Chains A and B, each alone.
Chain A
Amino acid sequence: MKSSHVIDASDLFIHDQEKAWITSAQQGNQQAFHQLYLTHHKRIYALCWRMLADKDSAEDVCQEVFVQLWLNIKKFREESKFSTWLHSIATNVVLSHLRKQKNWLQRVFSIEDQTIQESTVEMEELPELDKHIMRLPERARLVFVLFAVEGYRHQEIAKMLGMAVGSSKSQYHRARELLKEWVSDE
């Protein structure tokens, strides 16, 4: 009982601390914004790397996420948790980056990327499941990360990725089947 009170108090302190940083950052305090960066950048980087499956792009996009956060932080109204709001910004920035990268052939003919990527040296440090996630074909990977890791619903994912809800579900199923096969082969 006592320890749960301690945890509650500590959570409360972190929440209050973060709230103070957000308010200061909204008033243009870059040091407070740096504290927010320090608190959240590793999770945002993980999201970027998993979705992009490329370390260098993930670093660049993660930086862009925080630049966008700085430009938009005044819009945060505490209607949701700050981390949830930040993750939605990050997801949008990643998807927008991917859209820009798509070549015109894919855009015009909607050719889906079927390629299963080879693991690279950069991936060696990652947990086994991450290595497998990054080998998934792009759409399956995006759906899997958004649904299973980030906790979005298929309706939300379908809207974000511009696909039918059924497609989101089937891509998720496809990702799971591939992952199950790969984890079994380890």
Chain B
Amino acid sequence: MNKQNSEQLLAAQLSDLPKELTPKRDLWLGIEKGIHNKTQLEVSNKAKNQYVPLSWAASVVFAVLLTWGVISPQQADSPAELVVEMQQNFEQQKQAMLVTYGQPKLADLPESLKKQLEDLASARKSIENALLEDPANNDLLNILRWTQAQELELLTKLFSPQWQSI
């Protein structure tokens, strides 16, 4: 066969080449599975990326609030009002933090950790009660601040890593 013929033969076969070939097995099931797996992976990565800055932001807000609380306690009108304000601020921060961490159930925590939280909460309440009797006591105020900070820090330690490991 001469060169021109083989050229024509190739051109003819090329133009007849089917555009489609049919796979022997159904590929869709594998695609569905792949989509599911990769979508899950993307969601978890997004959650990770979303909550890491959120945790940072929460920590910064917490630090600012704490500093503000430490350096300007005299802004309240009276020592008794200051104690109430501290209690309210603390509850707000705690609730905000729990919302950030997806409202975790404290009851589901292991006993030892639950006890630590309960001990801190109980200590805080005792100090608050003592402050109701003696609202101008600066030492008690400082202990209350410290206890509140410990409680918030413990909550951060308990729930923040769970988000990051999704």
Contacts and interface: CB of A to CB of B under 8 A. Distances in A.
Contacts of A34: 28
A181 B7 CA distance: 9
A127 interface: yes
Nearest to B25: A59
B42 to A, nearest CB: 7
B23 A179 contact: no
B20 A129 contact: no
A37 interface: yes
Given A180-B10, A184-B5, A184-B6, A46 B27 contact: no
Contact of B23 (A41, A176, A180): A41
What is the interface residue range for chain A against chain B? 20 to 34
A62 B17 CA distance: 19
Contact of A46 (B5, B19, B32): B19
A22 B16 CA distance: 30
A63 B18 contact: no
A128 interface: yes
A126 B13 CA distance: 12
B18 to A, nearest CB: 6
Contacts of B1: 184
Nearest to B35: A70
27 contacts: A37-B28, A42-B20, A45-B22, A45-B27, A46-B20, A59-B23, A59-B25, A60-B30, A62-B27, A63-B27, A63-B30, A63-B31, A64-B34, A66-B27, A67-B31, A67-B35, A70-B38, A126-B21, A127-B17, A127-B18, A129-B10, A129-B13, A129-B14, A148-B14, A176-B10, A183-B9, A183-B13
Chain A to chain B: the 6 pairs with minimum beta-carbon distance, closest first: A42-B20, A67-B34, A46-B21, A129-B13, A180-B6, A184-B6
Given A66-B31, A183-B13, 16 more contacts: A30-B32, A34-B28, A37-B28, A41-B27, A45-B23, A45-B27, A46-B19, A55-B24, A59-B27, A67-B35, A130-B21, A149-B17, A176-B10, A183-B10, A184-B1, A184-B6
